[in-house]
Amino acid sequence: MATTSAPLEAWMEAVESRDARFDGWVTVGVTSTGIYCRPSCPTPVRPKRKNMEFFSTPAAAQHAGFRACKRCVPDAVPGSPEWNRRDDLVARAVRAIDDGVVDRGGVEALATDLAVSSRHLHRIMVSELGATPIALARARRARAARVLIQTTSMPFADVAFASGFESIRQFNDTIRSVFAMSPTEMRGRRSAGTGTEWISVRLPFRPPLRAQSLLDWLTVHAVAGVEEVDGATYRRSLRLAGGPAVAELTLRDDHVEARFRLAELTDLQSAIHRCRRLLDLDADPRVIEGRLASTDLAPLIDARPGLRSPGEVDGADAVIRAIVHQQVSVASARGSLSRLVAAHGEPLASPVVGVTHLFPAPEVWAELDPADLGLPMARATTVVRVAEALASGRVDLSPGVSRSAARQSLMALKGIGPWTAEIVSMKALSDPDAFTAGDLALRRVAGQLGMPDDPEGLTSHAEQWRPWRSYAMHHLWAEYLGHSQGSSS
């Protein structure tokens, strides 16, 4: 039985026409061969309709007993954007599993984070996805292992632990079960090396991707010491479970070339997931722009195809940065943040070019005297107040949190208004429909384009852009930045 919500006829036609637009959205299992594929699989013989079975994720296909196709490598495409668009329990669970919660703490930890019982979580995920949380985590490990086996010369023991496996035996058994080959067969003739300080992987995305606009956005918001843009390469520090890390992301025509320097190999998948969120690599421009092009944003969509909605690698970073950005220009906020990082950020033992520090952790901000931050007192007090809430757990901005709950907990804190809460939802929680009509730059460019420029009128006007209002904001901001370098978020 199919586990997707779309009409079966549409999926069958996608397979028969080899429509690559549906890759990642759906996985097709072929009952006559026991193989699962992406819809665009180039196999010369199309499966018969009676032999097609459809799944929401590769994990569900694996859970049903199918093996991955060696020809089309169905796990090598971006994941379904559905899990970022939705904010129900299943979508939140998928986001948390992608961030490694099950690998770090097991299903009980995931259930605790989601405030449900493990039995209920198991039941609802099997009902909707056809796969258990364990099966999703297993598929995540298998996908990660395949990439490292085929693109690096890391010893298999390192690959196993970097992918989240608890033992070499578990690693070998999973690779054979999912891909019907051993790790040695998968790697081929290339010999294993001794490992290197940096791990390189390719991050796929759905084209188009407007790389220059993405790099421009990152440049405008880069906090000195934590991040920098050098040509087509973006670098930044990451605070991960195993310790400090550095990511180096180079935007290519058809992929992002990513390099990671990690304190612990087990942090690799979390680093990849956070960088994918940062660059919005799981987005489907075809769907987003198809919707927005039917509105008054059509000229902006035509001018900037593939524009992304950049996120943030850490929820705490996102909210502190948003508070400092309140009611000031980007340049002013960036200068303040860079100064604060130099004073209170954790220095890296081995800096990488201009990346020298970690962004201060909530525990660090919480211990600071607001008077020492060099910010307006009200804003400085808000920074410390929010940091205390993050450090104590009263505010949760982890990937599996409910966006509405996160907004409510933020708005309950003095000094946090709708603008900050929406910006945090967009950047920290990958909310594709966040919208803040109070943003000054947004109102200015809206007025220039003949749209309402008051918050109430613009909010009402933006209803036509749902469920992609975050992307609408970025198109408006890009239009604004094309004329000035003033205030935006």
Q: Does residue 28 contact residue 43 with C-beta atoms inside 8 Å?
A: no
Options 23, 314, 433, 439, the catalytic residue: 439
d(CA 239, CA 183): 31
How far apart CA 316 and CA 42 sit, in angstroms, is 44
Residue type present at position 361: A
CA distances from 60 to 55, 124, 128, 393 (A): 6, 13, 10, 33
The number of residues in the chain equals: 489
Give the containing element (helix H, strand E) for 15: helix 8-16
Is 369 marked active-site?
Answer: no
Note if 439 is an active site residue.
yes
Q: Which residue among 37, 69, 72, 275 is the active-site one?
A: 37
**Residue 199 three-state SS:** strand
State how far the alpha carbon of 222 is from the alpha carbons of 226, 236, 273, 331, 340, in Å: 8, 9, 20, 10, 13
What pairing do the DSSP bridges indicate for beta strands 198-203 and 256-261? Answer: antiparallel
Residue with tokens 């992918």: 163
CA distances from 147 to 140, 199, 204, 398 (A): 11, 11, 11, 26
Handedness of CA 47, 51, 55, 61 (dihedral sign): negative
Q: Is 285 in contact with 208 (CB distance < 8 Å)? A: yes
- Integer Cα distance of 156 and 193 in angstroms: 10
- Active-site residue set: 37, 439
